[in-house]
Amino acid sequence: MASTEHDDRALVFITPEAYADMDAWHATAAELRRDNPVARVEAEGWTPFWAVSRHADVFEVSRRNDLYWNTEYSAPGPDLTYQFLQAAGLELPRTLVHLHGDIHNKYREVTNDWFKPAAVKGLQPAIDAIADDYVALLAEKGGECDFAVDVAVPFTIRVIMSIFGVPPEDEAFMLKLTQGMFGAADPEYLGDFTDPLDLVRSTIDEFAAYFDELSADRRARPTNDLASVIANGRVDGEPLGSTESLWYYIIVATAGHDTTSYSMSGGLEQLLRHQDQLRLLQDDPSLIVNAAEEMIRWTSPVRSFFRWVQEDTVLGGQELAKGDVVLTSYPSANRDDAAFERPDEFDITRPDAKNLLSFGLGMHYCLGAQVARREVQTMVRKVLEQVDTIELAGEPQWTGAHFVSGLKHLPISYTLK
């Protein structure tokens, strides 16, 4: 039923800790899909918004880029975050997900070809080689490890590093920086910082210093890596400025690694809980393409984005006014029984896995979707090729963060072939 009243249940979409218990989270999202699919949220310290939970409505908001726009505030967060950024003298973010219209298209154009399927296919040997290092590490670990920490996180960082063309020595530094940007809501990642905003501020400074140096090098000595494309990119015939280049590096570095590692760890967790499917995949490795799609549907690590309504309209039976804000919940859309048969069952053979909305849709459709798919496919395939048995060795743990989150610990035990 359409209602303009605040719905307390929909706080689940912006409450960091709620994402640390996904079973409870999904139960609440299912209720909202059923009886308040475009729910009003008036949370203290947040701009009021409408939480969009059904597949058809998230699809509509994502596709209708004329009606629903991205802005500098696209990443859902409390107003305080932006007030502090401004008070700290930092400008509001201007990465691809914060831009709209022509200006977005011009910046996206800079790297679009580099991310096309044929070009991404050329990355496979590098992805294979990096994956091999981590599969070898499984043997070194002697039968037990934390797959999320020991394999998925460093593997996905090294892939992003190889995409940029920077050396493996910097991977620990990159891990610290990206977790500073996205994991600041989780106390485990705060380190020496007691104030998450301090952490974000110093993180941005460190990113700036690192990437300025990288850009200067690639302008002097271009190669065929992504850093060279960004450093030598042009918009309206002019080179990208230092700040514009930095925003580009930040979106690829931050959007590209923990999203993918969360899908990999959360997908493997499901395989371990469904040993029949694990064996099916071991017996028929060609199932990996659909299996990876199902893992990305199931985990949906980007939790939501905000969009701004440009004209009075109706969405899912709810009237929206020009200027209203909507939140697109990808994990909820991905469990909608109107789009998926038995949505709450993990099934690597499901024929409708391709309906997933984890990568969004429309003009902001994930630029790195083909890279992410290859990474998940490659790592899971290689692990299953190596192991005879593999199972959970303890309780997995989730990151409590409302924007990008997933499994942060996945203890496993295994025997090798």
* Shortest distance (Å) from residue 235 CB to ligand HEM: 14
Tell me the window of 31-39, 44-52, 208-216, 256-264 that interacts with ligand HEM (CB under 6 A).
Answer: 256-264
Closer residue to ligand HEM in complex, CB, 231/371 = 371
Q: Does 227 bind ligand HEM (CB under 6 A)?
A: no
Q: Does 96 bind ligand HEM (CB under 6 A)?
A: yes
Contacts of 72 (CB under 8 A, 6+ apart): 82, 92, 93, 94, 98
- Detail the DSSP E strand segments found in 167-317: 234-235, 238-239, 304-309, 313-315
Cα gap 179→358, rounded to integer Å = 20
* Shortest distance (Å) from residue 329 CB to ligand HEM: 11
Tell me the window of 34-42, 239-247, 316-324, 355-363 that interacts with ligand HEM (CB under 6 A).
Answer: 355-363
CB 230 within 8 A of CB 215: yes
Closer residue to ligand HEM in complex, CB, 12/372 = 372
Out of 185, 199, 366, 383, point to the residue binding ligand HEM (CB under 6 A). 366
Q: Does 367 bind ligand HEM (CB under 6 A)?
A: yes
Residue reference for tokens 């015939």:
237
What letters, b where the CB count within 10 A reaches 16 and e where it falls short, cover 342-367?
ebeebbbebeebebbbbbbbbbbebb
Out of 365, 394, 415, 416, point to the residue binding ligand HEM (CB under 6 A). 365
Handedness of CA 405, 408, 412, 416 (dihedral sign): positive
Cα gap 177→390, rounded to integer Å = 32
In the chain the first and final C-alpha atoms are separated, in Å, by 55
* Shortest distance (Å) from residue 173 CB to ligand HEM: 18
Out of 85, 292, 371, 379, point to the residue binding ligand HEM (CB under 6 A). 371
Out of 36, 53, 62, 245, point to the residue binding ligand HEM (CB under 6 A). 62
Range 312-331, binding ligand HEM (CB under 6 A): 330
Cα gap 411→146, rounded to integer Å = 4
Between the CA atoms of 193, 197, 200 and 203, what dihedral angle is there, to the nearest 10 degrees?
Answer: -50
* Shortest distance (Å) from residue 66 CB to ligand HEM: 14
Closer residue to ligand HEM in complex, CB, 369/392 = 369
Q: Give SS3 for 162.
A: helix
Closest Cα partner for 111 from 284, 280, 240? 240
Closest Cα partner for 404 from 303, 323, 327? 303
Out of 259, 265, 329, 405, point to the residue binding ligand HEM (CB under 6 A). 259
* Shortest distance (Å) from residue 268 CB to ligand HEM: 13
Closer residue to ligand HEM in complex, CB, 7/166 = 166
CB 56 within 8 A of CB 334: no
Q: Does 141 bind ligand HEM (CB under 6 A)?
A: no
Q: Does 59 bind ligand HEM (CB under 6 A)?
A: no
Q: What is the number of residues in the chain?
A: 417
Q: Between β-strands 234-235 and 313-315, what pairing exists: parallel, antiparallel or unpaired?
A: unpaired
Q: What are phi and psi of 10, to 5 degrees?
A: -75, -5
Out of 260, 329, 399, 405, point to the residue binding ligand HEM (CB under 6 A). 260
Q: Does 114 bind ligand HEM (CB under 6 A)?
A: no
Structure-token pair, residue 387: 């192991």
Q: Does 134 bind ligand HEM (CB under 6 A)?
A: no
Q: Does 368 bind ligand HEM (CB under 6 A)?
A: yes
Structure-token pair, residue 295: 């893992």
Q: Does 355 bind ligand HEM (CB under 6 A)?
A: no
Containing H/E element for 296?
Answer: helix 288-299
Q: Does 281 bind ligand HEM (CB under 6 A)?
A: no
Tell me the window of 51-59, 130-138, 189-197, 363-371 that interacts with ligand HEM (CB under 6 A).
Answer: 363-371
Closer residue to ligand HEM in complex, CB, 306/414 = 306
Chain residues in the site for ligand HEM (CB under 6 A): 62, 96-97, 108, 251-252, 255-256, 259-260, 263, 296, 301-302, 305, 330, 358-362, 364-368, 371-372
